[in-house]
Homo-oligomer: A and B are copies of this chain.
Amino acid sequence: MIFIDACFGKETPYAPVWLMRQAGRYLPQYLEVRQNAGSFLSLCKSPELAAEVTLQPVDILGVDAAILFSDILVVPLEMGMELKFVAGEGPVFPKPITSQSDLDALNVKSAHKNLEYVYEAIKIIRQKLPSDKALIGFCGAPWTLATYMIEGGGTKTYSKVKKLLYTNPQFLHALLQKVTEVLKLYMEEQIKSGVNAVQIFDSWASALEESAFFEFSWRYIKELCAYLKAKYPHIPVIVFPKGISGYLDKIEGDFDVFGVDWSTPIELAKEKLGGRYILQGNMEPTRLYDKTATKEGVEHIVSVMQNRRHIFNLGHGILPDIPVENAKYFIDLVHSYK
């Protein structure tokens, strides 16, 4: 698989490419399945439908890897937290973690067993996916999941979780450790079910100042990476801590690929991390509104990375109103550079 070879720094005929949120709302075919599924969570919980939407962008766009369709919040859900997806508001945990008894009530030992619907989806996808295409499994990073579990949903200020961080760090560490333990078993089961690589999304890394990032986020990502790489060295591990361009000097750990978001200049990522890790990213997603802007963005990244030690992607998820034609143009353009 070209994608897996690239993750390990092997020579490939071209830079492989996929898109974050490639199984998503910009695709009419996705919207149709989504509507038939009823709710967003029903779609996540149906192995057949999740498999179907996972495979769509491989057929439609010709990307080099599929990424499992699911949501990072199925983990807190199966740890016992009620989860609602409210239209226009996003995910909501009506009863966020506020006390020691909330923490104690979390299901750590068997949460990964409740996620069987994910493993079933992986088995179906891996059966149907062409053998030269990789399947990427994923999870949210402990910090990002813990933030949702404490804030109860999206937040602009992160004031609840950061208040906890600075006033009761032991409590936050206890939660992060529990989430990390579940994620180890969850990712392990994803690997056993057939994913060829895994990505850890830390969407809210950018909420933390440097010292807090390393203590409350990166530490647990590293622990998860080390666990997975020790047991499954042939499975590439990709990390994506978003919005930490000021902290790249101190990034190190047992992973293979560093996902670069669009706010981190690719030149900077290359300078700080390019010698030690394969880079993935990082085109500005809104460039896909326009073909000329897409071409300029691709040319810039190609000129910096020279198709070496690089996997193409957007620097954040594809937006719902991007024309499919433009996404296809992007993929074809990347593949045209040999």
Instruction: Report A's interface with B, CB cutoff 8 A.
Output: 157-159, 162-163, 165-167, 206, 209-212, 243, 245-247, 262-265, 268, 284, 286-287, 289-290, 293, 300, 315, 319, 321
Contacts and interface: CB of A to CB of B under 8 A. Distances in A.
Q: Count this chain's copies in the assembly.
A: 2
Nearest to A262: B209
A241 to B, nearest CB: 12
Contacts of A206: 243, 263
Contact of A166 (B157, B247, B287, B300): B287
17 contacts: A157-B319, A159-B319, A159-B321, A162-B284, A162-B286, A166-B286, A167-B293, A206-B263, A209-B284, A209-B315, A212-B284, A243-B243, A243-B263, A245-B245, A245-B246, A246-B246, A247-B265
Given A262-B209, A265-B210, A286 B246 contact: no
Contacts of A162: 284, 286, 289
Contacts of A212: 284
A246 B272 CA distance: 11
A289 B159 CA distance: 9
A327 to B, nearest CB: 15
Contacts of A158: 286
Contacts of A167: 289-290, 293
A15 B291 CA distance: 50
B165 A286 contact: yes
Contacts of A287: 166
Nearest to A249: B268
Contacts of A166: 286-287, 289-290, 293
Contacts of A300: 211
A304 to B, nearest CB: 12
B246 A268 contact: yes
Given A157-B319, A206-B263, A210-B265, A286 B243 contact: no
Given A263-B243, A268-B246, A319-B157, A163 B209 contact: no
Given A166-B293, A247-B265, 19 more contacts: A158-B286, A159-B286, A159-B319, A159-B321, A162-B286, A163-B286, A165-B286, A166-B289, A166-B290, A167-B290, A167-B293, A209-B262, A209-B265, A210-B265, A212-B284, A245-B245, A246-B264, A246-B265, A246-B268
A264 B244 CA distance: 9
